Structure 1
Amino acid sequence: MSEAMMWLMARGVWETVMMTFVSGFFGFIIGLPVGVLLYVTRPGQIIANPALYKVLSALVNIFRSIPFIILLVWMIPFTRMIVGTSIGLQAAIVPLTVGAAPFIARMVENALLEIPSGLVEAARAMGATPLQIIKKVLLPEALPAWLTPRPSR
């Protein structure tokens, strides 16, 4: 392989790694609060709001079901508005982030659902506010479930 070809391969690998990590980071930044909001607004949870839960859950399900190539084309005007171009590394990160966020949100919600309800009830009994329950009970307890690889269900 020629030196130019090796350089192109190295550049392609670098751009792929950058797209993966940057879109994963921003997807997590968006998906974490959405996942927590999905959990806390679920009927029977600490800030139950069935209407908000249904709307948010429907949006997450819709965005999860859109094939990426369609999302990529659909987001061209938005991507151009955000980064100034619709091609290149920066332009690819925007739809990748939007595509990753709903998956991460659902993963966060499922991790929070694995927490025994007794922990939340104990925190409530001790007078914790909903924000304290989220920050000091739910997120620390759900962290191992986020980090542990699991097979698809």
Structure 2
Amino acid sequence: MDLRPRFTEALKASMLAKDAARTSTIRMILAKLKDTDIAARKAPTDPGVPDEQIAAMLRGMAKSRREAVELYRQGNRPELAEKEEAEIAVIESFLPAQMDEAATAAAVDAAIAEAGAASIKDMGKVMAVLRARHAAEMDMAKAGPLVKAKLGG
């Protein structure tokens, strides 16, 4: 997936295209990534956080903007909501495609089988398997309730 070079290339392209909104959003992503790298750094020579962590950071940025969109709509500020939605589109363009419901259900079934889960007490094991296998392309907030339902919780 190697996201860091994609950010740099996208920034160059948006600057050449004079796309101010996209350039601004990519710069925001790069600033957040720098903060994340610094927070996770143990030694000055650390290469930075891995792509899985970058993807999680991007999902967090998109989630906070979705919450802002809701608040702007409630506050009757459609122009601000549109700005946030444009930022979400840029942020999500760097994320791998999310699994659909059928693929998520199949992955949950496979994880339950792999973890040997028999009851709701095994939910943690199943979620760990899902995180290890599908962290980038699966919304864990949606997977949790599905795992719980399948384990009879």
Note whether the superposition's TM-score is higher than 0.5.
no
Bigger relative contact order, structure 1 or 2 (CA pairs below 8 A, ≥6 apart): 1
**TM-score, normalization by structure 1:** 0.32
* Alignment TM-score, normalising by the size of structure 2: 0.32
Q: Which has the larger radius of gyration?
A: 1
